[in-house]
Amino acid sequence: MRLELTSDQEFFQDTTAKFLREQVPVAEVRRLRDEAAGFEPDYWRRGAELGWTSLLVGEADGGGSISGNGIVDLTLVAHEFGRHAAPGPLAPTNVVASALSAAGGHPELVAGLLAGTTVASTCSGEPRPHDRLGAMATQIRVDGTDVVVRGVKRPVESADQSSHLLVTGRTDDSGGTRDGITQVLVPTAAPGVRRTPMRSVDLTRRFSEVHFDDVRVPLDAVVGEVGGAAAQVERQLQLAVVIANAESVGAMQVALELTIEWAFDRYSFGRPLASYQELKHRFADMKTWLEASHAISDAAADAVASGAPVAGELVSIAKAFIGDHGSELLQDCVQIHGGIGLTFEHDLHLFLRRHTVDRAIHGTPADHRQRITSIIERAERDERDERDGHAA
């Protein structure tokens, strides 16, 4: 990961790594494959006690960071989650806690999230034909003192374990003064909420398709402003992608370490596999991809933490690069292991599965390349308009 960490950050990361080694070794990860939740409640509560869920929440709400930079601190946890293929709703819990803390309100739910006794998740993605990044058909409308939600969201992580869902939808704004995007906190027990489990290649992460059939909640369930949530939704996307990127890099790191160790231990025709020139060249490529992934993941996290204007662009660049090159690295690791790399008994597939899911959620590499193009085109258009304005 990062070249320089504070002593507190090093201790925090080491403590997280030790906890994950002890509580969720690969044997436990395999066992959790058949568990409905994918993680044990006591494990998640103890992780919350270590600080996993409080890093993006202000001190006034009971949170706090390790270094003063909660986003960077959270990437240290996410990296270890990737290295251990660890279970638990790390991204959705932190994104929801951050959103509620920033908007104010719902203190009891925030307290439960920080304590690890409650789980909440975000609902942003949708099924086809609205499955592209930024596409949205879910409708949220104000009806007197209530808000009505209608639509379908997928994939929603840990929906069956969540007490509340932070739903993003479109709101008709006839006045044209707002962006038309609204977020509502919906209890999963509310009438009209239907959750259908989905299959996932990850052994411990659970996803669902959630239907909102004219779900009615009080107006105070709105997070932020009605029809004015575009900026907060963008912020949440950036946070979710930063966490996914750090996880993916952690999975890439441990997979390459396993493969290098294997290549030195495995002999073919009296020589270790690592001595063959073709594999040396391939390892050089893989090491380059890994180090570049570390760098771009960290750069994106720093940009989001500082609120830099280029944060959105860097996040998408990181997602596209890590998604594509991480897949190639992990597939190469499987191939270099030969037949044993294809077996369920070997640990390698656990990290391939984790990366595969992180690659797909919150926008695919193709989605983020399109997003980069849109950002660049918008910047060029704004620059041209400004230049034309000065000329006039």
pLDDT at residue 343 in the model:
94
Listed by start position, the domains of the chain span 7-118, 123-226, 231-389
Residue 199 · residue 208 · CB < 8 Å: no
Judge if 123-226 and 231-389 fold alike in CATH terms: no
Residues 139-152: pLDDT tens digits? 999 999 999 999 99
- Asked if the model's pLDDT at residue 180 lies above 80, the reply is yes
From the candidate CATH numbers 1.10.760.10, 1.20.140.10, 3.30.2040.10, 1.10.3080.10, the one assigned to the domain spanning 231-389 = 1.20.140.10
Residues 109-120: pLDDT tens digits? 999 999 999 999
What's the distance, Cα to Cα, between the start and end of the chain in Å?
50
How many other CB atoms are there within 10 angstroms of residue 61's CB atom?
Answer: 19
Distance (Å, rounded) from C-alpha 40 to C-alpha 24?
10
pLDDT band at 392, cuts 50/70/90? low
pLDDT at residue 176 in the model:
56
pLDDT at residue 32 in the model:
97
Q: What is the DSSP string of 331-374?
A: HHHHHHTGGGGGSSSSTHHHHHHHHHHHHHTTS-HHHHHHHHHH
pLDDT at residue 75 in the model:
97
Q: Is 143 helix (H, G, I), strand (E, B) or coil?
A: strand
- Asked if the model's pLDDT at residue 188 lies above 90, the reply is yes
Residues 32-60: pLDDT tens digits? 999 999 999 999 999 999 999 999 999 99
From the candidate CATH numbers 3.20.20.540, 3.30.420.40, 2.40.110.10, 3.40.50.1220, the one assigned to the domain spanning 123-226 = 2.40.110.10
pLDDT at residue 175 in the model:
54
Q: What does R_g of the chain's alpha carbons equal in angstroms? A: 22
pLDDT at residue 177 in the model:
55
Question: CA 229, 169, 148: angle at the middle one, nearest 5?
Answer: 110
Q: Is 218 helix (H, G, I), strand (E, B) or coil?
A: strand
DSSP bridge pairs for 259: none
What DSSP element (H or E) covers 123? strand 120-123
Task: Please state, in angstroms and as integers, the Cα–Cα distance from residue 103 to each residue in 53, 64, 229, 332, following that order.
Answer: 17, 17, 11, 44
CATH 3.40.50.170, applies to 7-118: no
Residues in the chain: 392
Residue 55 · residue 65 · CB < 8 Å: yes
Q: Which residue has the tokens 């270790």?
A: 272
CA atoms within a 13 Å half-sphere pointing along the CA-CB vector of 49: 7
State the average pLDDT for the chain.
94
pLDDT at residue 244 in the model:
98
pLDDT at residue 1 in the model:
59
- Asked if the model's pLDDT at residue 267 lies above 90, the reply is no
pLDDT band at 178, cuts 50/70/90? low
Distance (Å, rounded) from C-alpha 32 to C-alpha 202?
11
Q: What pTM, to 2 d.p., does this model score?
A: 0.94
Token readout for 251 is: 């999975």
